[in-house]
Chains A and B, each alone.
Chain A
Amino acid sequence: MSLILLAEQTLNGLQFGVMLFLMAAGLTLIFGVMGLINLAHGSLYMIGAFAAAATAAATGSFVLALGASLGAAAIAGVLIEVTIIRRLYDRDHLDQVLATFALILIFSEGTRWVFGSFPLFLDTPDYLSGTTSLPFGVQYSLYRLTLIFIGLLVAAGLFWMIAKTRIGIRIRAGENDREMIGALGVDISRLYTLVFALGAALAGLAGALIGAIQSVQVGMGEPVLILAFVVIVIGGIGSIKGALVGAILVGLTDTLGGFLLPRLFALFLDPSQATSVGSSLASMAIYILMAGVLLFRPKGLFGDA
């Protein structure tokens, strides 16, 4: 019984991790290639979720809704890159933080104008609802299993793109030496827009996928954004591989910490104390993990020296 519960919680941690990866991948690419700290990444996540909810309400199709989330977030990404973000690449990080924080406020209030203050409805499609039986008697939500699958698929696609395609080569080159690839004739500003749109689309996709099991409301992106920053700091800023490993580590630590720590304390404390100490410690667990990683590898697990 307990092993089944442990297996289920591990799957939950994995699912949480791969969704974090979708957020963190864009964030780390944008930082790695353009050197930009984008606080408004959470707003793109929110835009994806709202676009999906609106499309699902209008058409009833979940696949179309996912398409809309990718499209809407990418378009929003291109728009802000061309109008605002582009002016920030040469600026100080503090200016970037200030400007992208302003973008959060603008997007949040803008979304409220359009959609109102009440949460929107977005549900999982019928063919993905309910549970499925896995080996060893584990019952697991079909939708969450699909999320794990989609997340891993996107990760594989990104690795392939970075390693094998021309775009990927340019992105890697851009990370190493921006001026040089510009001098070699690559249209650097188009590359930047493309990377930004890609990161935005991934965030939008995450928003739509998660929105279907959580609530689609203004401000939904910011808590995820904080975790995504933790992920890229642990993984090493700029590294997609780091983002994947970091995201899964954070997902597993958070879920399994919340599950195991109260049980661990129950061995030598009375139950109510164990619950409160355990859950307080569990909510700190990922930050302790981050501090631990930074202590031994100040650049993160896969950060270059």
Chain B
Amino acid sequence: MKMKKLILAACTAMLATGAQAEGLKVGMITTLSGGGAGLGIDVRDGFMLAVEQSGRDDIDVVIEDDQRKPDVAVQLADKLIQSEKVDVMTGIIWSNLAMAVVPGAVAQGKFYLSPNAGPSALAGKGCDPLYFNVAWQNDNLHEAAGAYANSVGYGNAFILAPNYPAGQDALTGFKRFYKGAVAGEIYTKLGQTDYASEIAEIRASGADSVYFFLPGGMGISFLKQYANSGVDLPVVGPAFSFDQGILQAVGEAALGVRNTSQWSKDLDNAANVAFVESFQAKYGRLPSLYASQGFDTALLLISAMEVADVEDQDAFRTALKAANFASTRGDFAFGPNNHPIQDIYVREVVKEGDVYTNRIVGVALEDRGDAYAAECKM
């Protein structure tokens, strides 16, 4: 198996050097249609903004839409690798799609820079020298929420998440740091839109707070129904249910909710201030955390291109690992498994003029790596 991998890698390397030596070709597979398209569009726009600002004309980005379907993503990856002959791949939003594409891509000697999905399997035993995650390991924001719940003294939390791998990771992550009791734990159906039943259970449970991970439309439904239910326990969640794209649809129901994120638009560093301003000027909307992740991914790529040629895989990998770029989240470094070590903040949903957005109210975890780094051997 290892031999086969080596031969494969050698072949692709030879093919690549034979083809062309200048510039760099990026294959971006992301979700641009169907449910969850907002996330992919933000990642793409953030990424392209950074490429444009770099002023480089030797980066060729091929963008493909995976429609949030694993089979489509795999087909696109084959096409990008075999006929487009890209050097670097990026863009995937969803963990199940990442699991379908990333192992194959790195086995064929392609760099993969993840702007969003960070499944635990790719952070631990399945880590790879060519795989870099620029966003977070999936558990991170949930761990931060658990730490935050401790710090404000919640001792009896009701927790819920959808019944799929990232949902299970979420509750595991939350409980890793949370020290209080669990008043109730519910796995909802993935894509569920009515939470009347869960809210009734929360009401009856005697909990003192609610933690939920319900990304996208699920979170909108939950929050609107929760606000209308007369249950007024404090709510905590990861940033995914409170990002810029979703907040306008939730409206007043989200005001005051605390959520955890590695990025916020009011983070006070030069890179972020410039990013928020230029993103808004170019696209006419506020950036979300997904946009910041796309932007950072492109910055990382460009920083590596400055010092190494992608044909020289070892040098390029070392250059990536150095993470020598000004991240929109301030301090940023890679841990031993190529996943970020970064601060995770607590944000509060506020209203600025007519727009719902977030502002930072504290730091939940400082210089947090992830729980799986020790399992990674590379």
Contact = CB atoms under 8 A, between A and B. Distances in A.
B200 A219 contact: no
B376 interface: no
Contacts of A212: 224
A101 interface: no
Interface in B32-51: 33-35, 37-38, 41
B248 interface: yes
B53 interface: no
A30 B152 CA distance: 56
A119 B246 contact: yes
Interface in A97-144: 108-109, 112, 117-121, 123-124, 129-131, 139, 141, 143-144
A259 B229 contact: no
A43 interface: no
B249 A223 contact: no
A283 B38 CA distance: 28
A231 to B, nearest CB: 15
A239 interface: no
B230 A130 contact: yes
Interface in A267-298: 272, 275-276, 279-280, 283
A215 B194 CA distance: 10
A179 B264 CA distance: 66
Contacts of B146: none
B229 A218 contact: no
A213 B217 CA distance: 11
Contacts of B253: 123
A132 to B, nearest CB: 9
B37 A117 contact: yes
Interface in B147-199: 163, 185-189, 191, 193-194, 196-197
A255 B196 contact: yes
Contacts of A141: 196, 225, 228-230
A4 B194 CA distance: 20
Interface string A142-180: 011000000000000000000000000000000000000
A219 B69 CA distance: 14
A219 B216 CA distance: 13
A119 B217 contact: yes
Interface string A2-34: 101100110010011000000000000000000
A112 B65 CA distance: 15
B220 interface: yes
A130 B249 CA distance: 19
A293 B33 CA distance: 38
Given A9-B200, A129-B228, A215 B191 contact: no
Contacts of B185: 272, 275
A118 B355 CA distance: 14
Given A8-B200, A121-B251, A213 B187 contact: no
A77 interface: no
B193 A215 contact: yes
A214 B250 CA distance: 9
A207 B253 CA distance: 20
B217 A223 contact: no
Say which size band chain A's interface belongs to.
Answer: 35 or more
Contacts of B204: 1-2, 4-5
Interface residues of B, number: 37
A211 B248 CA distance: 14
A283 B186 CA distance: 13
Contacts of A215: 193, 217, 220-221, 224, 249
A119 B228 contact: no
A112 B41 CA distance: 12
A117 B220 CA distance: 15
Given A112-B33, A214-B194, A215-B249, A275 B228 contact: no
B228 A130 contact: yes
A143 B197 contact: no
Contacts of A2: 204
Nearest to B285: A118
A225 interface: no
A123 B251 contact: yes
A220 interface: yes
A217 interface: yes
A251 B203 CA distance: 21
A29 B31 CA distance: 37
A15 B248 CA distance: 27
A5 B204 CA distance: 7
Contacts of A129: 228
Contact of B196 (A12, A109, A219): A12
Contacts of A144: 196
B34 A218 contact: yes
A258 interface: yes
Interface in A213-264: 213-220, 223, 255, 258-259
Contacts of A123: 224, 251-253
A218 B200 contact: no
A5 B228 contact: no
A9 B35 contact: no
27 contacts: A2-B204, A4-B204, A5-B200, A5-B204, A12-B196, A12-B197, A16-B196, A109-B33, A112-B37, A119-B217, A119-B220, A121-B249, A121-B250, A130-B228, A131-B228, A141-B228, A213-B224, A213-B228, A214-B225, A215-B221, A217-B220, A218-B37, A219-B34, A258-B197, A259-B201, A275-B187, A276-B187
Interface of B: 33-35, 37-38, 41, 163, 185-189, 191, 193-194, 196-197, 200-201, 203-204, 217, 220-221, 224-225, 228-230, 245-246, 248-253
Given A123-B252, A213-B228, 8 more contacts: A4-B204, A16-B194, A118-B245, A214-B224, A215-B221, A220-B193, A255-B196, A275-B185
